[in-house]
Amino acid sequence: MHIEVTGTGPALVLIHGWALHGGIFAPLVERLAPHFQLHVVDLPGHGHSRDDTTALRLPQVVRAIAAATPPGVWCGWSLGGLFALHGAATLPQVRGLAMLAATPRFVIDGSWPHGVQPQVFAQFGSDLQADYRGTLDRFLALDVVGSEHARSELRTLRQTLADRGEPAPRALHEGLALLEGTDLRGALPALGKPGLWIAGQRDRLVPPAGMHAAATLAGHPAHTISGGGHAPFLGHADQVAALLHDFVAGCG
């Protein structure tokens, strides 16, 4: 697994979302590298880890990240939040948890109204078979729907994807299965570690209400970025970086 290390100071591990790679965090790396040692992950099947055939499953991937990084704070965006949360719940070396536009459950059910309908991910899986590149582009467009900086953020997402090539189809299907089937709400009340939850006000994939509800279960603070979409660290990098800086510094 490719993990890019930059900066000095306390360790902060950054884990990206579905279909992309660690390069998406460039705005945060620029602002945080002077203060922390950043470990920017390319998940198996993505970016520079495209040829890594490790199954995209929570225990396997979390163990691999932990083996390659020092103790520190883990920060996950979107799908990456599931890996960060699982790591915080199972590994003592994860000393704090930051969730960016991520919740313990991404689909709606009878007890969780904060997410998308289950068939959304199933449809993306079917569409990948028929139109791989078109489906990727439609998902990137969903990432920015509602954001006040939607056009520029979509350009950034498309360019970031192109910079390291398309992800492996196998990894995309496994990622969709994680988004559709994972429910980590039960881990939150007993987490026992500091946490920070950052939502985008206009996020159409992970509603801010869901992030605030999950943060309450864990006893953590939650912040909503005004005007932000599903990738609030692109259009509002200064605000997100400031929140992360104060949180990681506070974790020691």
Which active-site residues does the annotation give? 78, 203, 230
Closest by CA to 146, choosing from 100, 202, 101, 208, is 202
C-beta of residue 7 within 8 angstroms of C-beta of residue 38: yes
Other C-beta atoms within 10 Å of 110: how many? Answer: 5
Q: Compute the Cα dihedral for 164, 32, 240, 189 and give only its sign.
A: positive
Q: In what order do the strands lie in the sheet with 222-225?
A: 3-6, 37-41, 11-15, 72-77, 94-100, 195-200, 222-225
C-beta of residue 56 within 8 angstroms of C-beta of residue 178: yes
For every residue of 122-157, which 3-state class applies, written as one string?
Answer: HHHHHHHHHCHHHHHHHHHHHHHCCCCCHHHHHHHH
What phi, psi does 20 have (nearest 5°)? -105, -150
C-beta of residue 84 within 8 angstroms of C-beta of residue 57: no
